[in-house]
């Protein structure tokens, strides 16, 4: 028995959190039906001045399910949802699952070629999309997406209040695409779907082991892969978080800037609906004025954002003026959050409210969290959730367990772990591996665990640098640089060492904050390097420092290291 088998993290749980969970023999649809019945009059979501109740969600999603049945969609068929965070997304989600079909999020940011690849990979039968995307992308690939029998087309303004719909059309503030017929495919408006197909949804039988979602990974290491998540996976992960935060039915309001096509955003949308919570839908999280207004008006009890969005909100003077007394927790994930930035955020929202997490699409997504009320260790992504086992193994072979405090690859077992990658048996076998006669999820995250069971991320394995034979964890260097007062964003990447082909040089890419835009760049670079030399071993100190006007960000607001590497050909 090793230290990981003793589960030292259990001693650090909040007192109300059970050590294990029993996953009931039910589907996500069962959870949703229960939430709808709990209080049909309760607000399900707020959207740009409109409010829709759980009763509305029930009626509209039942009609959506009825349309899919009329189209001939059978349980197990895949429906693609190609929308920003709007009521239409959640109505479609509920309708698709109530019809027994599978939801697959299709990012609105994909190119036509990328869209075609994803839809062909899952043989999408029906696509829900915006009219502007339909005109500019879907029509270009109409002959390539042969499995698609129907396109349901909508516009942002369809679910706005009447006066905003009128002004949106009059002032042409909302992009509108031209919708024309496509041979061999039915083209229908979203509003016709939810108005014309009644409320008698199809009766289908679902098992917990049936596929619920096929969610695509971010694709930072090659083509995106579709993680197959079952109803049991989603139900288990919802119960894990509900017990962790002691959530009560109908007891709160959620606000998130994560897009629904990202598993973290979709998960929050799904747990919110399953608990009969209200959610504030944020179609454009970079509009921080709008986000601040939503928070001020609806007083969320739970917020979930990437660190970059929290930073953008803190840069908006309106954010510090908000009353956060009703906010219980501010969850941060998907990217490193510096200790300095966490301190600044808690100075506004309240001490102890920031909870860092670790998740990935392949785990539905949640794996670890800091306690809600108990000890939070700055820089840690917390403790394994109830029913979740972890080990830290050597990066090279994946078979040697690392001592406490030493870095290695995180591997995970639990009821939230995916079934595999869709149509990719080789990739599945590489990620879901046998270890000691059990199947474990090899995450690619380089972490360490302390004696109390808290997990600390050192790096993604792909972000780890090799400098003269030594390992350099980019996050460690980024943490040091982020302490410098002029830095808004920082990224460490490896670039080829011309003198040693098997080695790399450490490069720091910096974006300055607004207050430092006029400062002398050479002075800032010297200060950064001096700080690094004081706090890091010599081989970890950047050899190249670049100050950029705008750091490339991914769709969810993470620094896009893939783009940075591509720019230097590394």
What 8-state DSSP symbol labels residue 540?
Answer: G
Which tops the pLDDT comparison, 24 or 566? Answer: 24
Cα separation of 154 and 100, whole Å? Answer: 23
Asked whether the CA dihedral 122, 123, 128, 134 is positive or negative, the reply is positive
Can you give the pLDDT at residue 43?
Answer: 98
Task: Indicate the SS3 state at residue 370.
Answer: coil
Per-residue pLDDT averaged across 106-132, rounded? 95
Can you give the pLDDT at residue 167?
Answer: 60
Task: Indicate the SS3 state at residue 168.
Answer: helix
Helix (H) or strand (E) holding 354, with range, is: strand 354-359
Residues in the chain: 570
Structure tokens, 432: 């879901």
CB atoms within 10 A of CB 502: 8
For the packed helices 28-38 and 87-98, what is the interaxial angle rounded to 10 degrees? 120
Chain-centre distance for alpha carbon 464: 22
Architecture of 464-568 per CATH?
Answer: 2-Layer Sandwich (3.30)
Q: Which residues pair with 512 in a beta bridge?
A: 487
Res. 570: pLDDT tops 80: no
Architecture of 3-15+389-459 per CATH?
Answer: Roll (2.30)
What 8-state DSSP symbol labels residue 182?
Answer: B
Q: What are 468-495's pLDDT values in tens digits?
A: 777 788 888 998 999 888 899 999 999 9
Structure tokens, 538: 């010599």
Cα separation of 563 and 544, whole Å? Answer: 17
Can you give the pLDDT at residue 320?
Answer: 98
Task: Indicate the SS3 state at residue 41.
Answer: coil
Structure tokens, 372: 């809600």
Structure tokens, 167: 């002004």
| CB-CB contact of 267 with 236 (8 Å) | no
Of 172-181, 351-360, 445-454, where does mean pLDDT reach its minimum? 172-181
Residue 229, sorted as left (phi over 0), alpha (psi -120 to 50) or beta, turns out to be: beta
Q: Across all residues in the chain, what is the average pLDDT?
A: 93
Can you give the pLDDT at residue 168?
Answer: 61
Can you give the pLDDT at residue 171?
Answer: 53
Res. 312: pLDDT tops 60: yes
Cα separation of 59 and 71, whole Å? Answer: 19
Residues 6+ apart with CB under 8 A from 256: 264, 265, 268, 269, 279, 282, 303, 304, 305
Q: What are 350-380's pLDDT values in tens digits?
A: 999 999 999 999 999 999 999 999 999 988 9
Per-residue pLDDT averaged across 246-266, rounded? 95
- Break the chain into its structural domains and give their ranges: 3-15+389-459, 28-206, 464-568
Architecture of 28-206 per CATH?
Answer: 3-Layer(aba) Sandwich (3.40)
By the 10 Å C-beta count (0-12 exposed, 13-18 middle, 19+ buried), 369 is classed as buried
CA proximity to 122, closest of 165, 82, 175, 91: 82
Q: What are 395-446's pLDDT values in tens digits?
A: 999 999 999 999 999 999 999 999 999 999 999 999 999 999 999 999 999 9
Q: What are 186-215's pLDDT values in tens digits?
A: 999 999 999 988 767 788 999 999 999 999
CA proximity to 301, closest of 330, 275, 270: 330
Residue with tokens 């004696």: 451
Task: Indicate the SS3 state at residue 216.
Answer: strand
Cα separation of 497 and 133, whole Å? Answer: 43
Res. 461: pLDDT tops 80: no
Q: What are 70-101's pLDDT values in tens digits?
A: 999 999 999 999 999 999 999 999 999 999 99
Cα separation of 32 and 34, whole Å? Answer: 5
Cα separation of 488 and 2, whole Å? Answer: 41
Res. 166: pLDDT tops 70: no
Q: What are 520-544's pLDDT values in tens digits?
A: 899 999 999 999 998 888 889 999 9
Percent of the chain, pLDDT > 70? 96
Cα separation of 559 and 267, whole Å? Answer: 22
Can you give the pLDDT at residue 191?
Answer: 97
Residue 222, sorted as left (phi over 0), alpha (psi -120 to 50) or beta, turns out to be: left
Can you give the pLDDT at residue 170?
Answer: 52
Range list of H helices, 361-487: 425-431, 474-482
How would you classify the pairing of strands 432-435 and 438-449? Answer: antiparallel
Can you give the pLDDT at residue 172?
Answer: 63
Structure tokens, 471: 């390992």
What 8-state DSSP symbol labels residue 398?
Answer: S
How would you classify the pairing of strands 278-280 and 43-47? Answer: parallel
Radius of gyration of the CA atoms of the chain, in A: 24
Cα separation of 218 and 232, whole Å? Answer: 23
Per-residue pLDDT averaged across 154-175, rounded? 76
Which tops the pLDDT comparison, 177 or 13? Answer: 13
469-478 long-range contacts, Cβ below 8 Å, gap at least 24?
469/503, 470/537, 470/539, 471/407, 472/506, 472/539, 472/540, 473/407, 473/446, 475/336, 476/536, 476/540, 477/506, 477/508, 477/532, 477/536, 477/540, 477/542, 478/336, 478/338
What 8-state DSSP symbol labels residue 159?
Answer: G
CA proximity to 393, closest of 374, 420, 412: 412
Q: What are 236-245's pLDDT values in tens digits?
A: 999 999 999 9
């Amino acid at each position: 028995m090793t230290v990981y088998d003793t589960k030292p993290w259990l001693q650090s749980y909040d007192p109300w959190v059970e050590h294990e969970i029993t996953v009931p023999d039910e589907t996500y649809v069962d959870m949703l039906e229960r939430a709808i019945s709990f209080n049909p009059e309760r607000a399900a979501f707020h959207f740009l001045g409109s409010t829709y109740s759980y009763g509305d969600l029930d009626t509209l999603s039942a009609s959506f399910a009825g349309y899919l049945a009329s189209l001939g969609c059978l349980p197990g068929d895949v429906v693609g949802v190609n929308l920003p965070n709007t009521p239409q997304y959640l109505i479609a989600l509920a309708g698709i699952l109530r019809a027994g079909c599978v939801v697959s999020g299709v990012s609105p940011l994909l190119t036509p070629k990328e869209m075609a690849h994803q839809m062909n990979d899952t043989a999408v039968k029906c696509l829900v999309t915006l009219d502007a995307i339909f005109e500019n992308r879907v029509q270009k690939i109409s002959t390539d997406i042969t499995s698609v029998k129907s396109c349901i087309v909508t516009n942002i303004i369809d679910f706005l209040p009447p006066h905003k719909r009128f002004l949106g059309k009059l002032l042409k503030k909302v992009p509108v695409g031209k919708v024309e017929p496509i041979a061999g495919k039915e083209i229908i408006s979203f509003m016709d779907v939810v108005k014309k197909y009644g409320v008698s949804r199809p009766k289908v039988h679902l098992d917990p082991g049936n596929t619920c979602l096929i969610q695509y990974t971010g694709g930072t290491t090659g083509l995106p892969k579709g993680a197959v998540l079952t109803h049991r996976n989603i139900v288990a992960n919802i119960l894990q978080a509900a017990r962790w935060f002691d959530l009560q039915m109908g007891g709160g309001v959620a606000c998130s800037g994560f897009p629904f096509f990202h598993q973290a955003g979709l998960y929050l949308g799904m747990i919110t609906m399953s608990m009969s919570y209200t959610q504030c839908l944020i179609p454009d999280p970079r509009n921080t004025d709008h986000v601040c207004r939503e928070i001020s008006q609806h007083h969320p009890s739970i917020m979930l954002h990437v660190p970059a969005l929290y930073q953008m909100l803190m840069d908006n003077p309106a954010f510090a003026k908000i009353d956060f007394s009703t906010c219980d927790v501010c969850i941060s994930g998907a990217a490193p959050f510096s200790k300095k930035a966490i301190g600044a955020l808690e100075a506004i929202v309240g001490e102890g409210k920031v909870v860092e997490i670790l998740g990935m699409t392949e785990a539905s997504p949640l794996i670890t969290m800091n306690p809600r009320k108990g000890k939070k260790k700055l820089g840690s992504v917390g403790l394994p959730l109830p029913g979740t086992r972890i080990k830290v193994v050597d990066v090279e072979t994946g078979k040697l367990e690392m001592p406490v405090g030493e870095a290695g690859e995180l591997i995970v077992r639990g009821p939230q772990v995916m079934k595999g990658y869709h149509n990719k048996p080789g990739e599945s076998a590489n990620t879901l591996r046998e270890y000691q006669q059990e199947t474990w999820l090899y995450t690619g995250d380089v972490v360490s665990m302390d004696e109390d069971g808290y997990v600390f991320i050192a790096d993604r394995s792909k972000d780890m640098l090799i400098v003269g034979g030594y390992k350099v964890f980019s996050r460690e260097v980024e943490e040091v640089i982020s302490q410098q007062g002029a830095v808004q964003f920082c990224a460490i990447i490896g670039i080829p060492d011309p003198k040693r082909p098997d080695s790399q040089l450490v490069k720091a890419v910096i974006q300055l904050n607004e207050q430092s835009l006029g400062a002398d760049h050479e002075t800032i670079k010297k200060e950064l390097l001096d700080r690094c030399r004081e706090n890091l071993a010599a081989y970890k100190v950047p050899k190249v420092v670049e100050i950029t006007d705008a750091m490339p960000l991914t769709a969810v607001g993470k620094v896009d290291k893939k783009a940075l590497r591509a720019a230097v050909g590394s």
